Amino acid sequence: MARRWQVQEAKNRFSEVVDLALDEGPQSVTRHGKEVVVIVAKADFDRRKRATGRKGTLLTFLRELSFAGSSIRIERSKDDDRDIEL
pTM of the predicted protein model: 0.57
Q: Which domains does the chain have, with CATH numbers?
A: 3-64 (3.40.1620.10)
pLDDT tens column, 17-61: 999 999 999 999 999 999 999 999 999 998 888 777 667 788 887
pLDDT tens column, 59-85: 887 777 776 677 777 788 888 778 888
Which candidate, 5, 45, 4, 54, places its Cα nearest to that of 22?
45
Say which residues have a Cβ less than 8 Å from residue 28's Cβ, sequence separation at least 6. Answer: 1, 3, 4, 5, 35, 37, 38
